[in-house]
Amino acid sequence: MTGASGFLGSNLIEALNARGGTPRALLRATSSRAALVGLRCEPVIGDVLEMDTLRSAMRGVKAVLHAAAVVDDDRHDEATLYRVNVDGTRNVLASALEAGVERVVVVSSVAALGRPAWDHPADERQVFNLRPAAFPYGYSKALAEQVTRAFVARGLHAVIVNPTVIFGPRDVNHVSARLLTELARRPLPFYPPGGVSVVDVGDVCAGVLAALARGEPGRRHVLAGDNLTHRALLGAIADTVGVARPWLPLPRAVAALAHPLDGLRRRGLRLPMNGGQLRMSTERWWYDSTRARAALGFTTRPALETLARTWAWLRAQP
């Protein structure tokens, strides 16, 4: 497994442990082990950008779960984003093909599908429809999927899964949990006009393992939960953490502030979001997981249950 020390990776290890498995976990020498506390795995030091370490790690392996990625492009330059997400995927798949690995699941993202229509959730058929510079993360994932399909054409059994915004325990880097901790600390009076699709990390893990067992090579499988407006999501989070709900709607025209916002950030002003995130908050990022439900038996729990699980885990942390 790549990305083993991350949010999804550590939960996948927990899911495999529950089935009696002890997966081999690819970890960089500098990777934090905080998310792996209490889990069983066989750690090996390596990096998706170093082919020699991948070859060594895949010796005797029958299946690979590729979950390593740069997910926060606000903390990494674009060169690193593309190097890890695209070149890293190419390296993993080349090593898997060379090692005779029987099955691979590549964890992509719905970001690779681009922006859905305002009133119609997107499914696996949608093609990335944004300028690369406007959404580098999404474009990097779309390119990684192209790489995956090229290896499928060479005979590798590789399946793609596309989760939406994941919440749940073991989010030690506060990738999505930050929404709960920030709102608990500083309640917001306003909410943006768009929306997102929320899914529980446990449900994503079940979807990934189902894709490993019976997913179709080269095909996407969208793993989406509840499609929520930002008003509904932020209101549910406010209820979960015990603060007042946001009540003031922002107009879609607020996206025009994205460029000035980036200018202020470049001048060193600490702000809770960048211009790209502000623009994205004015769109509805809603997705349809009908295909995964039929092909994989994918099921999801209500978002309120997921948020409660996430908050309970956060409060239990020292």
Residues 104-142 have pLDDT tens digits of 999 999 999 999 998 899 999 999 999 998 899 999 999
Q: Would you state the pLDDT for residue 72?
A: 66
| pLDDT tier at 312, thresholds 50, 70, 90 | very high
- Among 38-47, 65-74, 251-260, top mean pLDDT goes to 38-47
What residues contact residue 21 under an 8 Å CB cut-off, 6+ apart? Answer: none
Tokens of 145: 């999927």
| pLDDT tier at 268, thresholds 50, 70, 90 | low
pLDDT over threshold 90, residue 62: yes
Q: Report the number of distinct structural domains present in the chain.
A: 1
Whether residue 278 is contained in a domain is answered as no
pLDDT digits (tens, 9 = 90+) for 170-195: 999 999 999 999 999 989 888 888 99
Whether residue 108 is contained in a domain is answered as yes
Q: Would you state the pLDDT for residue 279?
A: 64
Q: Would you state the pLDDT for residue 65?
A: 98
pLDDT over threshold 60, residue 260: no
Q: Would you state the pLDDT for residue 36?
A: 96
Q: Would you state the pLDDT for residue 280?
A: 75
Range of the domain at 22: 7-168+198-227+286-301
Q: Would you state the pLDDT for residue 243?
A: 97
pLDDT over threshold 60, residue 269: no
Q: Would you state the pLDDT for residue 76?
A: 67
| b/e 236-263 (16+ beta carbons within 10 angstroms → b) | bbbebbeeebbeeebeeebbeebeebee
Q: Would you state the pLDDT for residue 86?
A: 98
| b/e 284-316 (16+ beta carbons within 10 angstroms → b) | bbbbbbebbbebbebebeebeebbebbbebbee
pLDDT over threshold 90, residue 277: no
Q: Would you state the pLDDT for residue 73?
A: 53
Q: Which residue has tokens 């015990």?
A: 242
Whether residue 261 is contained in a domain is answered as no
Whole-number Å distance between alpha carbons of 36 and 170: 8
Q: Would you state the pLDDT for residue 278?
A: 56
pLDDT over threshold 90, residue 290: yes
Whether residue 269 is contained in a domain is answered as no
Q: Would you state the pLDDT for residue 271?
A: 44
Q: Would you state the pLDDT for residue 276?
A: 57
What residues contact residue 308 under an 8 Å CB cut-off, 6+ apart? Answer: 240
Whole-number Å distance between alpha carbons of 203 and 302: 11
CATH number of domain containing 163 = 3.40.50.720
Whether residue 93 is contained in a domain is answered as yes
Q: Would you state the pLDDT for residue 240?
A: 98
pLDDT digits (tens, 9 = 90+) for 67-112: 999 986 566 688 999 999 999 999 999 999 999 999 999 999 999 9
Whether residue 136 is contained in a domain is answered as yes
Q: Would you state the pLDDT for residue 250?
A: 81
- 3-class SS letters over the chain: CECCCCHHHHHHHHHHHHCCCCCEEEECCCCCCHHHCCCCCEEEECCCCCHHHHHHHCCCCCEEEECCCCCCCCCCCHHHHHHHHHHHHHHHHHHHHHHCCCEEEEECCHHHHCCCECCECECCCCCCCCCHHHCHHHHHHHHHHHHHHHHHHCCCCEEEEEECEEECCCCCCCCCCHHHHHHHHCCCCEECCCEEEEEEHHHHHHHHHHHHHHCCCCCCCEECCEEEEHHHHHHHHHHHHCCCCCCEECCHHHHHHHHHHHHHHHCCCCCCCCHHHHHHCCCEECECCHHHHHHHCCCCCCHHHHHHHHHHHHHHCC
Whether residue 211 is contained in a domain is answered as yes
Whether residue 264 is contained in a domain is answered as no
| pLDDT tier at 272, thresholds 50, 70, 90 | very low
